[in-house]
Amino acid sequence: MKNYLKRTMITTVALMALGSTVNAQNTVQVGGEAMYPKKDIVDNAVNSADHTTLVAAVKAAGLAATLKGDGPFTVFAPTNAAFDKLPEGTVAALLKPENKDQLTKVLTYHVIAGKYDSKSLQKAIKSGNGMAKLKTVSGGMLTFMLNGPMNIVMKDESGNVATISTYDVYQSNGVINVIESVLLPL
């Protein structure tokens, strides 16, 4: 029992340091709301106040049904603040019906088939001698590297870098890792 409490406290402290919290049922909080492991990616994401732009984009692209599917999927979920970093008017332009294909490509560039939590990503990075390249659902490549012993950063094909700010938000059909920048395909 003592070891269990120690591990729980360490996990709680680590998650709090990463900008998330754990409640009594061991659910991670993202955007002020609990993310329940028995819910799917979409059902959890719609509750996060930090991901309203992402949710609106997923709905506009018609990807909600896909992300509610069996998966498993790994979603690198940009926050609203990440979308705000894009040049003014970019998000509004992407949300227009005539730009649905481009929006879909950007969103699916943030999704990898399979379940890649922090442990899996670190293992892939170590196996790749400090770098892991993973293919996105859109067909592009993302490169993952460690920046210190626990900080995973990712780079898109244009050289833009995003840091994972919240790791291992488990879902019934995969895992979400929250990122602080939007990645863009070529």
**Whole-number pLDDT of residue 33:** 66
Each residue's pLDDT tens digit, 25-84? 457 777 776 777 788 888 888 888 899 999 999 999 999 989 989 989 999 999 999 999
Each residue's pLDDT tens digit, 84-130? 999 999 999 999 999 999 999 999 999 999 999 999 999 999 999 99
Asked whether residue 6 is domain-assigned, the answer is no
Asked whether residue 167 is domain-assigned, the answer is yes
The pair phi, psi for residue 110, each rounded to 5°, is -95, 10
Asked whether residue 13 is domain-assigned, the answer is no
Strands (E), the chain: 21-22, 28-30, 33-35, 73-78, 111-113, 132-135, 141-146, 152-155, 161-171, 174-179
Supply the pTM of this predicted model. Answer: 0.82
Asked whether residue 185 is domain-assigned, the answer is no
H/E/C letters for each residue in 105-124? Answer: HHHHCCEEECCCCHHHHHHH
Number of domains in the chain: 1
Asked whether residue 156 is domain-assigned, the answer is yes
Query: Which domain, by its residues, includes 51?
Result: 37-179
Asked whether residue 172 is domain-assigned, the answer is yes
**Whole-number pLDDT of residue 45:** 86
In this predicted structure, the answer to whether residue 24 has a pLDDT above a threshold of 70 is: no
Asked whether residue 27 is domain-assigned, the answer is no
**Whole-number pLDDT of residue 15:** 39
In this predicted structure, the answer to whether residue 143 has a pLDDT above a threshold of 80 is: yes
CATH classification at residue 108: 2.30.180.10
How far apart are alpha carbons 105 and 136 in whole angstroms? 10
**Whole-number pLDDT of residue 105:** 96
How far apart are alpha carbons 12 and 14 in whole angstroms? 5
Asked whether residue 147 is domain-assigned, the answer is yes
Positive or negative: CA dihedral 149, 115, 143, 162: negative
